[in-house]
Structure formats: C-alpha cells, structure tokens
C-alpha cells in the first residue's frame, strides 16, 4: 500500500496550508504532510505555496517583499493568517507524521532557507520526521551539505531521462514527479537503485487505483482520507 502524504494539509476540504487543514490530519491514518516553505522580507520561514499572493490572499505582492507582520495582517478565506514554520512544527511536534517540506526556491532563491528549515526541525528533535524536497535541486545539495542524513526528494514537473541515474548520481533518496510522467518500468528501475517514488498530485480514485497497481511508494494528495471527488463518468 502506498504511503499517503496530505498535500498542503487536508487541502481538498480545508484551506490549503492553514492551521485548520493541518490539524484535520492529526488523527488520520496517513504517513505524512506535504507543505511549502518560503522566507518573508525579514527572513522568517513561513508556510505558503504561491510566491505571489493574489490567489491566496488577494494581495498584489510577493511573500519575499512583506515582513512577517505584514503577511500576518492578511487573511485567508477561512479567516486565518499564514503560519510560520515554527507554528507548523508546534502542531506536529507530538505527532509521528513525517513532514515533507518543499523548499520554494524555484522562483526566488531565499538565501539560507535550507539552514533555517534544518535548524527548526533539529531544535524540536524532529529530524527523524523530515523529508526535504524542491524543484531547485541545488537547494537539495545545500541541505545535503548541512546534514547528509536528511532524506531528499527531487521534484520534477516533466519526465527525466533515466531518473534513476540522475538521482543516484546526486544521492537523492526520493523522486517526486508529477504522476502523469510515471510508469511501471520507471518505478522498477528506481526501486532497483533503492530510490522511492512519491508522486503528485493524485486527487481522483481512478488515478489512485493506478498508482497502487504500478507500485508507487507514496501518494501526495489533497484528499488524505481518499474521499476523492467523482470524475463525472
């Protein structure tokens, strides 16, 4: 059975990356949480997906250009403000759930974000529940320099040629591809090289069933209870 990661918390039913979406996962029989970290103007790690805030907070600004106080003054549709990484850790520090932290360094580099994330988990004795991923694979190499024991997942939005060779070359233990790029032969080649595959974002039963059939290691989904919406046919 594939391990379930709640994508931005229970985002299929609650506002993504909110305290509410995370707390709804605490009592679920799942493996982990997938979430996103950026830095504010004053260097505070915060949990939020979009670099530009129009969609989430109706604000025409980038996360990097607002201080924490300015970001906290904004509200999601559910009335909450974005939370810090420390506030996220407070929710899960007594939980066994693994945190798959995506470093959002694909658009802006956020100098020092790797060390700040590492230090936050180390301070709370949660390194055994940390998995770091990013579309910026240089960020993963920086994390590897900080501590080579931290599991790393290479995110991709398209198909890599021979991903098992690429990931093995850089010592990445996990491959996090978009599900449409995954096939059984790819999984077999990766598994032969002891690389696990967690695919995103699996939000329909038909796709989930296929992921189980081909042997996917982990499912990143907005519906961690597997209460998927109907495809309509």
SS3 26: coil
Q: Do the Cβ atoms of 74 and 81 come closer than 8 Å?
A: yes
In the chain, alpha helices (H): 19-23, 54-57, 68-72, 85-92, 113-123, 137-146, 163-170, 184-192, 205-214
- Map residue 11 onto helix, strand or coil: coil
Rg (CA), the chain: 17
- Locate tokens 């690429």: which residue? 166
Domain ranges across the chain: 3-221
| pLDDT confidence of residue 230 | 83
As a whole number of angstroms, the distance between CA 4 and CA 36 comes to: 17
Using alpha carbons, select from 87, 100, 80, 66 the residue that is nearest to residue 18.
80
Identify the active-site residue in 49, 137, 176, 191: 49
CATH fold, domain 3-221, is TIM Barrel (3.20.20)
C-alpha dihedral sign at 50, 53, 54, 57: positive
pLDDT of residue 231: 66
Q: Kindly give, in sequence order, each residue whose CB lies less than 8 Å from that of residue 37, ignoring residues fewer than 6 positions away.
A: 45, 46, 47, 85, 101, 102, 103, 104, 113, 117
Q: Along the chain (233 residues), what's the average pLDDT of each consecutive run of 10 residues?
A: 96 98 98 99 98 98 98 98 99 98 98 99 98 98 98 96 97 98 96 98 97 97 96 53
pLDDT for the residue 233: 41
Q: State residue 1's pLDDT score.
A: 82
| Residue 226: Cβ within 10 Å count | 12
From 7, 137, 176, 191, the catalytic residue: 7
Q: Is residue 176 annotated as part of the catalytic site, yes or no?
A: no
Q: Classify residue 181 by its DSSP letter.
A: G
């Amino acid at each position: 059975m594939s391990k379930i990661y709640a994508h931005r918390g229970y985002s299929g039913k609650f506002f993504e990356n909110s305290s509410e979406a995370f707390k709804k996962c605490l009592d679920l029989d799942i493996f982990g949480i997938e979430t996103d970290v950026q830095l504010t103007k004053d260097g505070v790690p915060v949990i939020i997906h979009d670099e530009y805030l129009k969609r989430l907070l109706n604000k025409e600004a980038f996360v990097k250009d607002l201080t924490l106080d300015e970001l906290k003054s904004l509200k999601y549709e559910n009335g909450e403000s974005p939370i810090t990484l420390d506030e996220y850790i407070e929710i899960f520090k007594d939980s066994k759930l693994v945190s798959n932290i995506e470093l959002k360094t694909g658009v802006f580099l956020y100098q020092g974000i790797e060390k700040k994330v590492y230090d936050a988990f180390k301070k709370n004795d949660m390194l055994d529940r940390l998995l770091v991923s990013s579309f910026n694979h240089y960020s993963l190499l920086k994390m590897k320099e900080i501590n080579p024991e931290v599991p790393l997942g290479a995110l991709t939005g398209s198909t890599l040629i021979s991903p098992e060779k690429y990931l093995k070359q850089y010592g990445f233990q996990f491959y996090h591809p978009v599900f449409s790029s995954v096939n059984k032969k790819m999984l077999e080649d990766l598994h032969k090289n002891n690389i696990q595959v967690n695919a995103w974002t699996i939000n329909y039963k038909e796709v989930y069933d296929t992921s189980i059939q081909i042997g996917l290691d982990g499912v990143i989904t907005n519906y961690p209870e597997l209460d998927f919406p109907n495809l309509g046919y």
